[in-house]
Structure 1
């Protein structure tokens, strides 16, 4: 009898909960007016010095892969590797690497052309960037040495302020040994995107790399390279110095006779449109290359290494670097690690509009490259509406107290 009463009370409680949930959902403002919901997207939170970068692959999956590798080393058998893990190129990605290199060159040309008409400002103290004239008056300069009012001290900036270059060690053999600490000054450092294109199949005389005709073999966890013992075709050593460490260095560096960039167009709006197109091609192409060719980054600093494993240079000065003896804590990298975005305040579609601190909650943000091309007249896609807050109307100063 007691159990029957309990079942009856439980059923009544479930029916009451269903009716309450249904009435709350039907009477909520979001259900009545779904179109009023804002599509605002928050920017990635700036990590503290003691915080680690988020994992790209889940830790459980990484542990499972490592257990499989340990078990494979115990068994003396041959494991078939696929390109590029076996040293060969992925043939379908060679045109992608060339397109990425061409898109990077065109993007730099367009940025250099547009920056002549759209000014770039950078803070002397904190390095904050603003696109357009006049620079904003938002009091966000909160670093050591800033003014008491937290206002920025602006100066004219250049292309390097909005297109930061992340460098990586150039590897002659991507499957060879890692760069040691003693060899840090003997190995060339090149932009990470350029090194990714070189490993993806782009041949550059300035930075030679080894191309294999036959794959390597993995036996009991060790790579066996027969071409190293019995080379099929020798490499021409003209204009290349062979050091005792075994690395190659070109006599004439790439930046010693670099000619001027060729502007792809004369019209400012057309150049901005081509720049946006080059940026999207660069993003998609690098994403395809990174799925096959390994790129890793330090979990606490901005160091990046293109290749299957990281170097052993002890130059990390991030959180708890003493416990690692100055070495980096490597993990899988993302596109933002090799091409970091610089976020700036978004200027509304008004000429010579001044951003003030009292209305900063109505302003959006955007990548500096996107903002530069947008002010030059380029049409933006729907991917940037969320962070730009295009659905918000910025009130005037006398209307701000009336805004809800």
Structure 2
């Protein structure tokens, strides 16, 4: 019996040693030699593919995105002078209104609680239009950015980087373009002089610019590849993701290391910041007991609706404009028609 166990253990040891051996076998050496031979051919094909970019037919689409983005930033800045926006001190919750809601949805790792009330502080334009940045590439055929090279490249908005690769912005002028157009200056006197009808016009223009930006980015992503990390939502505009090990750098995150790249979509470059939307039939302050009755909407859509803009029909299923509201007198609403 002992001889049988000794034979089984010896076979298992030899099998595990062959599987986990660090010495390259002859087959692996042949494969490495083949990869070294075809590496120049792969690099040559990448350089030749870069000659086809930018696509001339797509350049007008990128230019329209830049114009719509400029109008969006200026109109949202003007609306924030009139309609207050609040953000939670401990989490990323945003609410459009003078008073924050009382819905217990704060799940910040700092407070160490599952459901708590939010602590509201004044918000900014970055709470309505979430900034998404990526590394700026000098050309589409350059090598992959290594971890030790992460400080050698500038970080720019992902939309501008996408339009830059599409030929709408010169690569050397993208930083100057971002400084000029990303901070529109609108005084309070100009907003006070606007009548109510013009304020509705501003909200409508912001809504239309938001839709144009998303539609244009959707078209560009069909031609120019972009990547997003599955775990931390890092965005990289280019044919392959970078090698900077920045995924899970915080202590509360379980994963730390390289990014897990997948194909990016419109919501990755132009995120929809979904917030609780107060309807006319809802109470002045939203309470936690009626959270199943209230509606949701992207923050930009909620802000434009406060200005009087007509909300597109595709958001009606989330906003529940004709839905029931929470009743303080009776916890079960009357469903009779």
Task: State the TM-score, normalizing by the size of structure 2.
Answer: 0.75
Distance in 2, Cα, partners of 1:88 & 1:331: 22
The partner residue of 2:58 within 86, 89, 93 is 93
Distance in 2, Cα, partners of 1:401 & 1:207: 60
Report if the CA contact (8 A) 2:224-2:238 is conserved: yes
- Give the CA deviation at 1:366: 0.5
Distance in 2, Cα, partners of 1:197 & 1:134: 38
- How many residues of Structure 1 are paired with residues of Structure 2 in the alignment? 285
Distance in 2, Cα, partners of 1:363 & 1:351: 8
The answer to whether residue 292 in structure 2 is matched with residue 361 in structure 1 is: yes
Report if the CA contact (8 A) 1:84-1:293 is conserved: no
Match of 1:136 in 2: 101
1:290-313 CA-to-partner distances (Å, cap 9, x unmatched) read 000001111111211101111111
The answer to whether residue 134 in structure 2 is matched with residue 164 in structure 1 is: no
Match of 1:193 in 2: 159
- Give the CA deviation at 1:137: 1.3
- Give the CA deviation at 1:110: 0.9
Structure 2 alignment gaps of length 5 or more: 1-34
Structure number with greater CO (CA < 8 Å, separation at least 6) is 1
- Give the CA deviation at 1:256: 8.3
Secondary structure of 1:362's counterpart equals coil
Distance in 1, Cα, partners of 2:182 & 2:300: 23
**Distance 1:377-1:312 versus aligned 2 partners, 3 A rule:** same
Which has more helix, going by share of residues? 2
1:86-134 CA-to-partner distances (Å, cap 9, x unmatched) read 4422111101101101111111111110011111011112231110122
Quote the RMSD (CA, aligned, Å). Answer: 3.2
The partner residue of 1:342 within 246, 250, 273 is 273
Task: State the TM-score, normalizing by the size of structure 1.
Answer: 0.64
Q: Which runs of 4+ in 1 moved over 6 A?
A: 146-149, 256-259, 262-265
Report if the CA contact (8 A) 2:80-2:125 is conserved: yes
The answer to whether residue 268 in structure 2 is matched with residue 303 in structure 1 is: no
Structure 1 alignment gaps of length 5 or more: 1-69, 209-249
The partner residue of 1:330 within 241, 255, 261 is 261
Match of 1:229 in 2: none
**Distance 1:253-1:370 versus aligned 2 partners, 3 A rule:** closer
